[in-house]
Amino acid sequence: MPSGKISVSGFRHFFPTEGGPVQATGVIDLAIREGEFVTLVGPSGCGKTTLLKAIAGFITPSEGTILCDGKRVTAPGRERGVVFQELAILPWRTVRRNIAHGLEIARVPRVERERTVERLIGLMGLNGFEDRYPHELSGGMRQRVAVARTWAADPEIILMDEPFSAVDAMTRLTLQEELGRLCATTRKTVFFITHSVEEAVFLADRVLVMTKRPGTIKAVLDVPRHDHGGRDWDSFTADPEMRNIEEQVMHLVHAERVAG
Amino acid sequence: MKLARDLRILLPFMVLIAIWWGIKDGAGVSDRLLAAPPAVWNAFVWLVTHGVLAEYASTSLQMIGFAALLSFAIGVPLGFAVGTNRYAARALEGTLRYLQGISGIAWLPLAILWFGFTHTTTLVIVIYTLIVPIVFNTMTGVRAIPENYVLALRSLGASRLRIVIDVYLPGSLPSIVVGLRLGMGYGWRALIAAEMLVRQGGLGDLIFGARTFNQIDRIMVGMIVIGVLYIIVDRLLVQPIESMTLARWGVLRR
């Protein structure tokens, strides 16, 4: 049995439909170590989100087990934070109150709560927007709030489902750098889903490549880190080693696309 | 500025009164078919000074108020229960639509057989009319809430009660208010109709009673008051809640 912060063994999932069960994923085994940033890249519909939802505890796997710190995952839990692609922060709460939500639920005392929220507002560059409602913010801003809310609750594991895909390209670059820095300073275990190869390599300690539906993991690539902070796009693009890994991943993903 | 706006609202009513007066006098319609505005005004003054109007109107207002409170108290939790359960929602959606087709008035014969010519009969009819749009709109409001709101809160460790309070309630509030507003409109009409048959007070009773004595002026006073009271209840009570919730949160659904 694989060991790690998260370990998935023999996972396979089917969705019930009127025409009988539809296979969402193939058999998946994977282990994520503590403090590791793992990205998962694969064609759309391959079952990436299904796997993430199972780790989050939103769905019960049809087959196999998911362990988190050696304990079987049966429901969502505070130790596993989730950042969604969109529509996750509440429109009727201000930025500040959205970020504080997890802390309110955990009954963190007011003073400590405010301190944490202030710190994250600073880290995510949300100063001056504390008392705005989500509909007054841009898409990029809203995702910052979503990320800040998850970080504020201080989970050990963070699951991210294409969090920046609905954001414009320019903002995305900034958000990716900010996320890298945030992770480097907070040492979270992160499982990050994307369909962007570049993003997958840029953020990861390890990249997993999935096949098309029903998806299984076809390759695992290590992305070495030479510094201890987050990466930045300028040095990333200038680094031939990184470009090389990106190309390898691109080939693997491309093969799935052609085959599809 | 405010005066100009008030005038714009009142102007169509003035035109309406002018047409009414014109038809009455110009075509020489008999007093037994249509009363002239001055006659209606005189009847209004008489009904007010003798406390008759206050008595009948307060009966109607109490009935609609009580029915609205009760329908709200029952309808909202019911809508929640159904809305949060996909299977129940699917099963009940058709039933609710069907029931909307059978108006409250259509239940009157049965209700009179069961409860007699009493306030209970009237209340049953009005609550039935009011509660269906409230349940229906609460249910659709709950179902329109993006699943991610709920999932995100569950992964933040929120309890079921917490999710109801933080997500379902504020998320469905605009829709609930729409349901209440519709329900009040339907309920008010059903109330007047029920009062005409039950004859235990209320504005419906007033105008139907006036018919037996051919008091055209009274009938018309009653009708005008029915309309005015509805506008007052809607504008002063329901509409402010609606604009308050919507304006503050912006567009809730995309």
pLDDT tens-digit series, residues A57-101: 999 999 999 999 989 999 999 999 999 988 789 999 999 999 999
pLDDT in tens, A14-73: 998 888 899 999 999 999 999 999 999 988 888 999 999 999 999 999 999 999 998 999
Alpha-carbon gap, residue A244 to A251, rounded angstroms? 11
Yes or no, beta carbons of B166 and A106 under 8 Å apart: no
- Report yes or no on B48 lying in a domain: no
pLDDT in tens, B40-54: 999 999 999 999 999
- Report yes or no on B37 lying in a domain: no
State which residue of chain A sits closest to B151, comparing Cα positions: A58
- Give contacts of A91 with chain B, Cβ < 8 Å: 249-252
Structure token pair of residue B12: 């169509």
Yes or no, beta carbons of B249 and A91 under 8 Å apart: yes
Residue B194 backbone phi and psi in degrees, to 5? -65, -40
A interface mutation test: which of B145, B150, B151, B155 has the most A CBs within 10 A? Answer: B155
The answer to whether B171 contacts chain A (CB < 8 Å) is yes
Parent domain of B142: 54-249
- Give contacts of B149 with chain A, Cβ < 8 Å: 87-88, 90
Residue B178 has what pLDDT? 87
CA distance A239 to chain B (A): 37
Sign of CA dihedral A65, A71, A75, A76: negative
The answer to whether B247 contacts chain A (CB < 8 Å) is no
Yes or no, beta carbons of B152 and A82 under 8 Å apart: yes
Contacts 24+ apart (CB under 8 A), B83-88: B83/B138, B83/B139, B83/B140, B83/B141, B83/B142, B83/B143, B83/B168, B83/B172, B84/B142, B84/B168
- Give contacts of A133 with chain B, Cβ < 8 Å: 248-250
CA distance A135 to chain B (A): 6
pLDDT in tens, A153-186: 999 999 999 999 888 888 889 889 988 888 888 8
Alpha-carbon gap, residue B104 to B229, rounded angstroms? 21
pLDDT tier at B253, thresholds 50, 70, 90: very low
B218 alpha carbon, distance to own chain's centre:
23
Q: Interface pTM (ipTM) of the complex?
A: 0.89
The answer to whether A87 contacts chain B (CB < 8 Å) is yes
- Report yes or no on B128 lying in a domain: yes
Query: How many percent of chain B have pLDDT more than 70?
Result: 96
Structure token pair of residue A44: 């759309």
CA distance B245 to chain A (A): 9
Residue B254 has what pLDDT? 35
Alpha-carbon gap, residue A69 to B107, rounded angstroms? 61
- β-partners of residue A175 are none
Q: Which of B157, B171, B249 sits opposite A77 (nearest CB)?
A: B157
Q: Check which CATH number belongs to the domain holding B108 and give it.
A: 1.10.3720.10
B interface mutation test: which of A87, A103, A154 has the most B CBs within 10 A? Answer: A87
- Say if residue B96's pLDDT is above 80: yes
- Report yes or no on B10 lying in a domain: no
- Report yes or no on B224 lying in a domain: yes
- Give contacts of A113 with chain B, Cβ < 8 Å: none
Yes or no, beta carbons of B166 and A76 under 8 Å apart: no
- Report yes or no on B240 lying in a domain: yes
State which residue of chain A sits closest to B247, comparing Cα positions: A92
- Report yes or no on B7 lying in a domain: no
Structural domains counted in chain B: 1
Q: Which of A84, A105, A153 sits opposite B162 (nearest CB)?
A: A105
For chain B, the average pLDDT equals 89
Q: Which residues of A88-121 are buried (b: 16+ CB within 10 A; e: fewer)?
A: bbbbbbbbbbbbbbbbbbeebeeeebeebbeebb
**Which run of H or of E encompasses A194?**
strand A189-194
Yes or no, beta carbons of A153 and B170 under 8 Å apart: no
DSSP 8-state code for residue A47: S
Residues 6+ apart with CB under 8 A from B245: B173, B174, B177
Yes or no, beta carbons of A78 and B157 under 8 Å apart: yes
Residues 6+ apart with CB under 8 A from A129: A95, A121, A137, A141
- Give contacts of B164 with chain A, Cβ < 8 Å: none
Alpha-carbon gap, residue A248 to A197, rounded angstroms? 10
What mean pLDDT do residues B201-209 have?
94
A37-41 sheet: strands from edge to edge: A80-83, A157-161, A189-194, A37-41, A206-210, A217-222
- Report yes or no on B38 lying in a domain: no
- Say if residue A4's pLDDT is above 90: no
Q: Which of A88, A135, A136 sits opposite B152 (nearest CB)?
A: A88
pLDDT in tens, A190-215: 999 998 999 999 999 999 999 988 89
- Say if residue B85's pLDDT is above 90: no
Q: How many C-beta atoms lie closer than 10 Å to residue B211's C-beta? A: 13
Yes or no, beta carbons of A84 and B148 under 8 Å apart: yes
pTM score, two decimals? 0.81
- Give contacts of B156 with chain A, Cβ < 8 Å: 78, 81, 101-102, 105, 149, 153
Yes or no, beta carbons of A90 and B167 under 8 Å apart: yes
Alpha-carbon gap, residue A134 to B187, rounded angstroms? 36
What mean pLDDT do residues A4-19 have?
92
The answer to whether A52 contacts chain B (CB < 8 Å) is no
Alpha-carbon gap, residue B23 to B15, rounded angstroms? 12
- Give contacts of A56 with chain B, Cβ < 8 Å: 151, 155
pLDDT in tens, B50-73: 999 999 999 999 999 999 999 999
The answer to whether B146 contacts chain A (CB < 8 Å) is yes
CA distance B208 to chain A (A): 48
